[in-house]
Amino acid sequence: MKLWNQKLKSKFEESLKAVLPVIAIVLVLSFTIAPITPSILLCFLVGAVMVMVGMMFFTLGAETSMTPMGEKVGARMTQTKKVLVIALLSFILGVIITISEPDLQVLATQVPSVPNVVLILAVALGVGIFLVVALLRMLIGVALPPLLVVCYVVVFALVFFVPADFRAIAFDSGGVTTGPMTVPFIMALGVGVSAIRADRHAADDSFGLVALCSIGPILAVMILGLIYRPAESSLSVTQIPQIQDSVELWQLFSYGLPTYIEEIAVSLFPIIAFFGLFQIFALHLSGRNLARILVGLVYTYIGLVLFLTGANVGFMPAGNYLGTVMASHEYRFLLVPIGALIGFFIVKAEPAVYVLNHQVEDITDGAISAGAMGVSLSIGVAVSVALAMLRVLTGTPILWFLIPGYAIAIGLSFFVPKIFTAIAFDSGGVASGPMTATFLLPLAQGACIAVGGNLAADAFGVVAMVAMTPLITIQILGMVYQLKQRHVKLSEAEYAFAALDEDAIIEL
């Protein structure tokens, strides 16, 4: 028990460091250029506390339950050495964990004209199919860059047939679907599958699953857009709460809390059921290991409930209101640098980012540190939010940013070390999680309403931009790493040569 308490304390310190900068930025803005009402500020502060506590429980829970579960399932699946069995189980697993993703429920309510159940099932099928592709790629040893080229050529060929107002929503879906429930399990699954392989590229190939799984939802939502032809008029906008006293503040959160208690329970159940069946028929883990995983699942459940309640009830209205106030300001283009500043810090509060950064550090034995990953992700998200705010204020079509952005990212993939490409494309889906959906997207929506823009075409797309820029910044990190490695090797060779005496040099 003492060990668990120490771990909780450590996780709380990490979540405090992640969320405090966002709180500080919002407070400074609210007392200077973007005044907000006391009720919204109180909602935001209560929500921030819930987000911090939720992050603490979730990160510990994911570390002790979701990650071991994914690794053990992945390793056991691969040991069967039956491709059809692996493909079938991968597909079922992909569908189950996608339906379990809380962010997908949020996306379903925001996509106009498409029935929620239809969208959820279509996206789940998309992820299931691409998870099969991703795992087979690992087992066969197919290079990731050419596969990404083929997939994104199909995506960008199809996008021109999709209604213009629906394109940004389709690209947002790729980032939103790979959220806090999906990412830890899928990434751990990759580690488990790669552990069976003995070649030197196995660790490199353990990444890339999230990258390919992010493509499935984009294609699924685009196809639905072609079928249903959605209209912008049916989009919903974030409601701004009006609170008169502390009792109403409590009622607001107490009304939202049961919703997420039920939602996360329904979300976790399919994963627990799948793992339970796997345990009975294949894994046969010891009681001690099972108990540890069960405790971790309880922590994961508590963490996600608190995190999503705080983010949706507290952060969403604050983001929307701030966007409206700043875009109504005389110097509205201040929204671009302020958005970049918020983006730089808010990605640190994404639950799945913690999982990615530490898994990268573990797999590479510290060669790629969690700190370097964090800085690269923060820079990428800062750039993406700045571009997204510029797009909202000017009404620039999203394809003007996405086409050159993905062209640069895929072009870089042929020149950087293999592992950095896989990590970079994974990081895009990881960075665009619930914090982006509940704060940055409402920020863009509020700004769009203030400037009289097209809500579907201009406000949506923030998640897509956040998912795109890390692909470039992480690969640039890879190029820097590659140059340093070459320099180190050269220095070692020069040092060895200098250490030889004259006779040795002559003999050489």
Q: How is 136-149 classified by DSSP, letter by letter? A: HHHHHT--HHHHHH
Give the pLDDT confidence score for residue 234 in this predicted structure: 52
Asked whether 322 and 29 are in contact (CB, 8 A), the reply is yes
Round to whole Å and give the CA distance between 15 and 350.
10
Q: What region does 366 belong to: left with phi over 0, alpha with psi -120 to 50, or beta?
A: left
Taking residues 237-250, what's their average pLDDT?
73
Measured over the CA atoms of residue 70, residue 215, residue 390 and residue 392, the dihedral's sign is negative
Round to whole Å and give the CA distance between 124 and 189.
17
Core vs surface per residue 80-104: b (16+ CB within 10 A) or e: eeeeeebbebbbebbbbbbbbbbbb
Taking residues 450-473, what's their average pLDDT?
86
Q: Is the pLDDT of residue 379 over 90?
A: yes
Asked whether 50 and 314 are in contact (CB, 8 A), the reply is yes
Q: How is 360-402 classified by DSSP, letter by letter? A: HHHHTTTSS-HHHHHHHHHHHHHHHHHHHHHHHHHT--THHHH
Residue 373 tokens, joined: 């990953």
Count of domains in the chain?
1
Taking residues 2-8, what's their average pLDDT?
76
Give the pLDDT confidence score for residue 233 in this predicted structure: 44
Express as a percent the part of the chain with pLDDT over 90.
26
Q: Is the pLDDT of residue 274 over 80?
A: yes
Query: How far are the Cα atoms of 188, 215, 307, 397 from residue 27, in angstroms, in the given order?
Result: 38, 37, 20, 32
Give the pLDDT confidence score for residue 504 in this predicted structure: 37
H or E segment and range at residue 340? helix 335-346
Report the mean per-residue pLDDT for the chain: 83
Residue 442 tokens, joined: 């409402």
Q: Is the pLDDT of residue 231 over 70?
A: no
Give the pLDDT confidence score for residue 27 in this predicted structure: 93
Q: Is the pLDDT of residue 486 over 80?
A: no
Q: How would residue 508 be classed by pLDDT, with cut points 50, 70 and 90? A: very low
Round to whole Å and give the CA distance between 202 and 239.
48
Range(s) of the domain holding residue 464: 2-507
Nearest CA to 127 out of 233, 248, 230, 215 is that of 215
Q: Is the pLDDT of residue 387 over 90?
A: yes
Taking residues 104-124, what's their average pLDDT?
77
Express as a percent the part of the chain with pLDDT over 70.
89
Round to whole Å and give the CA distance between 357 and 372.
9
Top pLDDT among 87 and 102 is at 87
Top pLDDT among 176 and 274 is at 274
Q: Is the pLDDT of residue 398 over 50?
A: yes
Nearest CA to 474 out of 152, 207, 195 is that of 207
Give the pLDDT confidence score for residue 506 in this predicted structure: 33
Q: Is the pLDDT of residue 495 over 50?
A: no
Q: Is the pLDDT of residue 240 over 60?
A: yes
pTM: 0.84
Asked whether 464 and 175 are in contact (CB, 8 A), the reply is yes
Range name among 195-204, 220-229, 289-298, 432-441 with the lowest pLDDT average: 195-204
Q: How would residue 239 be classed by pLDDT, with cut points 50, 70 and 90? A: low
Q: How is 25-63 classified by DSSP, letter by letter? A: HHHHHHTTTS---HHHHHHHHHHHHHHHHHHHHHHHHII
Give the pLDDT confidence score for residue 473 in this predicted structure: 92
Q: Is the pLDDT of residue 268 over 90?
A: no
Q: Is the pLDDT of residue 124 over 60?
A: yes
pLDDT digits (tens, 9 = 90+) for 55-88: 899 888 888 888 888 888 888 887 877 888 888 8
Query: How far are the Cα atoms of 189, 320, 370, 473 from residue 365, in angstroms, in the given order?
Result: 19, 41, 11, 21
Taking residues 224-249, what's their average pLDDT?
69
